[in-house]
Amino acid sequence: MAGNRAQEFVATETWLDRLTRITPFFLLAVPILPYTLAQHPAGGDVGRTLAVVAVTVAWLTWFVVLLPPRAPRYQLQMSVYFVGFLAASTVLIARSPWFSFFCWIGFVHAFRYLTGGWRYAGVIATAVLLSIGQTGGFHRLTVPLAAVVAAVTLLNAAVVPPAATPPASRAALASTLTTKTLTDPAVQAI
């Protein structure tokens, strides 16, 4: 019974790894159509935006598809990846707020590829960029706009990451916490 449960988690992790590798490309492609139809950019603007998209695709391909993700020896490289991801997201959202759809994958990648407190820093950075996109992109900063962006950032950081955390990871975490709690001598004394 325990072996079957372990195999289910391994199968789920494998499926989630594949999904985590493919989804960013889909989320990067989706905003291109609304960007061109809703914003009516000039040909040169479309070309520059597609150039940024192409660089982002190359960045994703190298770090997420070709490098073995989550390998301990690649922690520094995955941190570099995430900084590049944030930079690409910033440029894309500056080109069009529609690209905040792509930025969403940062929540998943922060938990997947970063470690320790850097995970939470990645979540907050992603939440800030997402909220900027959700409020219409980069504008001249005013006090009311800053308040709205801060409120939306807090909402994004509180609501989205639990939903973006893979179920297998949540189940494994709950199992670990339950096991450690039940075997803790202080808890047993109660």
Is 99 within a domain? yes
Range ranked top by mean pLDDT from 90-94, 105-109, 134-138 = 90-94
What number is the average pLDDT over the span 96-120? 89
Residue 184 lies in a domain: no
* H or E, element range at 41: none
Residue 110 lies in a domain: yes
Q: How many domains does the chain have?
A: 1
Domain annotation covers residue 178: no
Asked if the structure places residue 112 within a domain, the reply is yes
What is the sign, positive or negative, of the torsion defined by CA atoms of 126, 159, 145, 52?
positive
- 77 lies in a domain? yes
Q: How far is CA 143 from CA 29, 113, 126, 132, in A?
A: 34, 34, 21, 14
In this prediction the pTM is 0.75
For residue 20, pLDDT beyond 80 = no
Cα 117 to its chain centre, rounded Å, is 15
Task: Provide the domain limits for residue 7.
Answer: 2-171
Q: How confident is the model at residue 102 (pLDDT cuts 50, 70, 90)?
A: very high
The 8 Å CB, 24+ separation contacts for 45-52 are: 45/95, 48/95, 49/92, 49/95, 49/96, 52/88, 52/91, 52/92, 52/95
Best-predicted range by mean pLDDT (83-87, 135-139, 154-158, 165-169): 83-87
Q: pLDDT at position 72, please?
A: 64
Q: Is 190 part of a structural domain of the chain?
A: no
Question: Is 80 a member of any domain?
Answer: yes
